[in-house]
A and B are shown apart, each in its own frame.
Chain A
Amino acid sequence: MPGLLAPSSSSAVDAQRQTIAALRQQLQASSLEWEAERVSTGCPALDQILPGNGFRRGSLVEWYAADPGSGANILALIAARQACQSTGKLIVVDRRRTFYPPAAVAWGLSLQNMIVLAPRNDRDAAWAFDQAMRCTGVSAVLAWPEQIEGTTFRRLQLAAETSGVLGLFVRPAAAQHEPSWAETRCCVSPRASRAGWRLHVQVIHNRLQGHRHGIELEIDPHTGQIGRANHCTLASQLADSTPGGHAA
């Protein structure tokens, strides 16, 4: 049987050359994806399970909060912190007016580089999100859209790719069954723990990765460090968390 290494005719040689050229083109295209600037999630353990060790600038990331008090906001916020570093601008679209800036500062964000928007209705919120995603002067946009129409979502994805802005949505868990143009989609659910705060993060979709990945993370309540569960520091293991608790 003729093989790649033993062509038997010139037409076969041409066909093989074309195949090789096509494969090279595909490789180059995928390497461009990899070479695009990556932003760490803020958690090295989570970076390891993502292609390129982080989120791609100019993409959309969806976090699905399984329940209230699930910790999804924290993960989105530290990703925003990484995207903005020291000088980048963060736009927060706070439609429900529940965003609490002092807590964001405790997580290392700078209010100096943050603009908070308070749109009065969902339509204005969607418009504001769209405008912010198109601005090259912005590093990241954080929002809590409950519903996003398909055409709007596609427009946001194109805007992100053009401007290089990292769009971070935190949405209810039910939204994971809706069509999405986000490059990365993660479901966050809390877990009971005796030490720090444990979260289960399931990467249910990544455009460059075919299969799902899950990881258990633990947040050290004293330092805010987020690591792989069962790898946390001794201090958090010894923290008294039994019923009866401890006084602040």
Chain B
Amino acid sequence: MLHQPARRGQCVAACSTEAERLGIVEGMPLAEATALAGKSRPASTRSSQLHLEPHDPQADRTALQKLAQWCHQYSPTVGLEQAEQPQTIWLSATGMEKAFGSEQEHLQQIQRGLSRLRLVGRLALADTIGAAWGLAHCGEKDPWAESFRPGEWDRPIVVPGGQTRQALQPLPLSALRLPLDIVEMFLHLGIYHVGALLALPRTELEARFGPLLIKRIDQACGDRAEVIEPIPTPQEVTAERLFEYPLTQSDVIRGSLEQLVQQVAAALEARGDGALEITCRFGCYRAKDEALRIGLFQPTAEARHLQELFDLHLERLRLVGAVESIKLQVTRQAPLPWQQQQLFQQEASLTEMSQLATLVDRLASRLGRHAVMQCHLQSDPQPEQAYREEPLLSGGKRFSKQSRPSQQAPLARPLQLLRQPVRLGDVATTATAAPQGFHYQGCEYRVARHWGPERIQTGWWRRRSIERDYYQVETETGQRFWLFQQLPRGTWFLHGTFA
């Protein structure tokens, strides 16, 4: 839950879906919300489940602006809602069906893009900004869908042209972006939906409720123009060279690329930015174009460093045709880190960080972005799922989140875990089903002592649930292994070694 200052104390600014199910709503006093959350859970889990943070409107706005910049790949005109705390991004869809195939495909691509960013957005397409806002915020179902399922609120809504007024009819009054006091007045009068409001005499509405109400109705229905105030388009840094004759000599290609890299680096440095991602596209004569993509650990405008990374990629690149053009495009950039002149220890640590960033860039260029990873623990009983690997150049937080301390004893888990457990042949067992001896890699091992079983079981809702009895065994020669018996079949596997 996010909380913010209210007239008396703190109140809920936003909460998760799980919190909503407990009855917590926006505007509720924080003490009441905390009490509701505490009642619903066992005492042992309360403190670990409830997560409170203060609401930071400025951070929200900054994040939304960044997302709006990202949306430029879907529309040339992107704007932010004009409000104190904007929650909506406008995209102009005029003429976009030619670029994306159809309006539905346009919206689906935006939704897929948001999914990749782990965001859920409510999308609506209509003739007017007002109607699109209302449908996105308040539309629960798409009435034009051939089949829809209640609760499918994240499905894009597309209103065919000329049917805006009809689409607005069933929406609640809040869909018209009206102040809360006006909405409450209409609710008091028994008017709940936009359709009922539109049926009322217009002159009386203006006289009673002021010009804002009429303005919103006209904007939603298309009787009054409303335009998107576009946010500035990020200026792309690109450099391109077209060759008079297609080239095949690698040293000439490399030399041309080097000149383009210097141009790009100079352009970035001039605006105080550094590249985080650069795409290089080789246009090949009568063959498929080849593209390279370089990710960087921290923004850089150093031509030499960028060229080194390209050289690492070029070593492995096989061009199938002669090159007739090279284009460099900075697809992600950020302000260059400002490094104050420091003395002694701090200066050394800045240099070390810079060296580390260079190392990460080189490793990712040669090994691949997905081969340079940072690991994070996950709360999952299945050993293989107890952690996840994230590429260090994925654009997420780096070295920023302190890993929670382990609650396991040091020898509870082996330092080497096989990716695929190895099935063991005949495993001798005791009367209590503990392992007594097994064969592995051509050797026979006799168990001197064991610890277990430790039952690890995953839920039935998992596609492949597991039920395993794990044993840590020490052989007569002192070697330690981690075995498990898969239930209910009873097959034995070796999963790790305490090497």
Spell out A's residues near B (CB within 8 Å).
Answer: 65, 67-74, 77, 89, 97-108, 110-120, 124, 127-128, 131-132, 135-138, 170, 189-193, 197-199, 219, 221-224, 241-248
CB–CB A98/B413 < 8 A: no
Show 11 residue pairs from A and B whose CB-CB distance is below 8 angstroms, ordered by the A residue.
A68-B499, A69-B497, A69-B498, A103-B414, A104-B415, A115-B373, A120-B368, A137-B356, A137-B359, A244-B432, A248-B451
- Closest Cβ of chain A to B485, distance in Å, is 13
CB–CB A119/B371 < 8 A: yes
CB–CB B375/A101 < 8 A: yes
From B392, B453, B476, B479, contact of A115 by CB (8 A) = B392
CA distance A92 to B368 in the complex (A): 16
B474 at the interface (CB under 8 A from A): yes
CB–CB B430/A244 < 8 A: yes
Q: A219-B411, A242-B449, A244-B432 are in contact. Are A98 and B406 (CB under 8 A)?
A: no
CB–CB A67/B411 < 8 A: no
CA distance A108 to B407 in the complex (A): 11
Residue of B nearest to A191 (CB): B478
CA distance A247 to B383 in the complex (A): 18
Stretch in B10-18, B33-41, B262-270, B347-355 touching the partner: B347-355
Q: Which residues from chain A contact B447 at a C-beta distance below 8 Å? A: 243
Q: A105-B405, A111-B403, A224-B411 are in contact. Are A68 and B497 (CB under 8 A)?
A: yes
CA distance A114 to B402 in the complex (A): 11
Stretch in B47-55, B79-87, B215-223, B416-424 touching the partner: B416-424
CA distance A117 to B359 in the complex (A): 12
- Closest Cβ of chain B to A75, distance in Å, is 10
CB–CB B416/A73 < 8 A: yes
CB–CB A115/B372 < 8 A: yes
B59 at the interface (CB under 8 A from A): no
Q: Which residues from chain A contact B480 at a C-beta distance below 8 Å? A: 69, 71, 190, 197
CB–CB B352/A136 < 8 A: yes
Q: Which residues from chain B contact A131 at a C-beta distance below 8 Å? A: 359, 362-363
Spell out B's residues near A (CB within 8 Å).
Answer: 351-360, 362-363, 366-368, 370-377, 383, 386-387, 389, 392, 399-403, 405-406, 408-419, 430, 432, 434, 436, 440-441, 447-454, 470-471, 474-481, 496-499
Residue of A nearest to B355 (CB): A137
CB–CB A72/B499 < 8 A: yes
CB–CB A102/B387 < 8 A: yes
CA distance A114 to B374 in the complex (A): 7
CA distance A71 to B367 in the complex (A): 29
Q: A73-B415, A106-B408, A197-B474 are in contact. Are A116 and B496 (CB under 8 A)?
A: no
CB–CB B450/A112 < 8 A: no
From A105, A192, A247, contact of B452 by CB (8 A) = A247
CB–CB A245/B367 < 8 A: no
Q: Which residues from chain A contact B478 at a C-beta distance below 8 Å? A: 70, 189-193, 197-199
Q: Which residues from chain B contact A110 at a C-beta distance below 8 Å? A: 402-403
CB–CB A192/B477 < 8 A: yes
CB–CB A135/B377 < 8 A: no
From B355, B417, B434, contact of A245 by CB (8 A) = B434
CA distance A106 to B387 in the complex (A): 13
From B362, B432, B470, contact of A248 by CB (8 A) = B470
Q: Which residues from chain B contact A102 at a C-beta distance below 8 Å? A: 377, 383, 386-387, 406, 408, 413
CA distance A205 to B440 in the complex (A): 31
From A77, A101, A192, A243, contact of B387 by CB (8 A) = A101
Q: Which residues from chain A contact B387 at a C-beta distance below 8 Å? A: 100-102, 111
CB–CB A113/B399 < 8 A: yes
Closest 10 CB pairs of A and B: A190-B478, A224-B410, A137-B356, A248-B454, A69-B479, A137-B352, A100-B417, A137-B355, A111-B403, A101-B375
CA distance A186 to B448 in the complex (A): 26
Q: A77-B415, A243-B449 are in contact. Are A118 and B434 (CB under 8 A)?
A: no
Q: Which residues from chain B contact A65 at a C-beta distance below 8 Å? A: 499
Residue of A nearest to B431 (CB): A244
From B358, B373, B479, contact of A68 by CB (8 A) = B479
Q: A119-B371, A197-B474, A244-B432 are in contact. Are A101 and B355 (CB under 8 A)?
A: no
From A116, A120, A242, contact of B389 by CB (8 A) = A116
- Closest Cβ of chain B to A141, distance in Å, is 11
CB–CB A112/B415 < 8 A: no
Q: Which residues from chain A contact B432 at a C-beta distance below 8 Å? A: 244
Residue of B nearest to A196 (CB): B411
Q: Which residues from chain B contact A69 at a C-beta distance below 8 Å? A: 475, 479-481, 497-499
CA distance A132 to B475 in the complex (A): 37
CA distance A101 to B360 in the complex (A): 19
CB–CB B481/A138 < 8 A: no
Q: Which residues from chain B contact A67 at a C-beta distance below 8 Å? A: 477, 479
Which residue among A68, A69, A242 has the maximum number of chain B CB atoms within 10 Å of its CB?
A69
- Closest Cβ of chain B to A49, distance in Å, is 20
Q: Which residues from chain A contact B406 at a C-beta distance below 8 Å? A: 102, 105-106
Residue of A nearest to B353 (CB): A137
- Closest Cβ of chain A to B384, distance in Å, is 9
Q: Which residues from chain B contact A136 at a C-beta distance below 8 Å? A: 351-352, 355
A103-B412, A115-B392 are known; give 7 further A-B pairs, CB within 8 A. A111-B375, A117-B372, A135-B355, A136-B352, A137-B357, A197-B480, A243-B436
CB–CB B453/A99 < 8 A: no
Q: Which residues from chain B contact A190 at a C-beta distance below 8 Å? A: 477-480
- Closest Cβ of chain B to A14, distance in Å, is 46
CB–CB A103/B363 < 8 A: no
Q: A100-B416, A131-B359, A248-B452 are in contact. Are A120 and B367 (CB under 8 A)?
A: yes
CA distance A110 to B400 in the complex (A): 12
Q: A68-B441, A136-B351 are in contact. Are A115 and B360 (CB under 8 A)?
A: yes
Residue of B nearest to A135 (CB): B359
Residue of B nearest to A76 (CB): B415
From B371, B374, B416, contact of A118 by CB (8 A) = B371
Q: Which residues from chain A contact B402 at a C-beta distance below 8 Å? A: 110, 112
Q: Which residues from chain B contact A128 at a C-beta distance below 8 Å? A: 363, 366-367
CB–CB A98/B373 < 8 A: no
- Closest Cβ of chain B to A13, distance in Å, is 47
Residue of A nearest to B368 (CB): A120
CA distance A131 to B355 in the complex (A): 11
Q: Which residues from chain B contact A135 at a C-beta distance below 8 Å? A: 355-356, 358-359
Q: Which residues from chain B contact A103 at a C-beta distance below 8 Å? A: 410, 412-415, 417
Which residue among B358, B371, B441 has the maximum number of chain A CB atoms within 10 Å of its CB?
B371
Residue of B nearest to A103 (CB): B413
CB–CB A243/B430 < 8 A: yes
CA distance A103 to B360 in the complex (A): 24
Q: A69-B475, A124-B366, A137-B353 are in contact. Are A100 and B372 (CB under 8 A)?
A: no
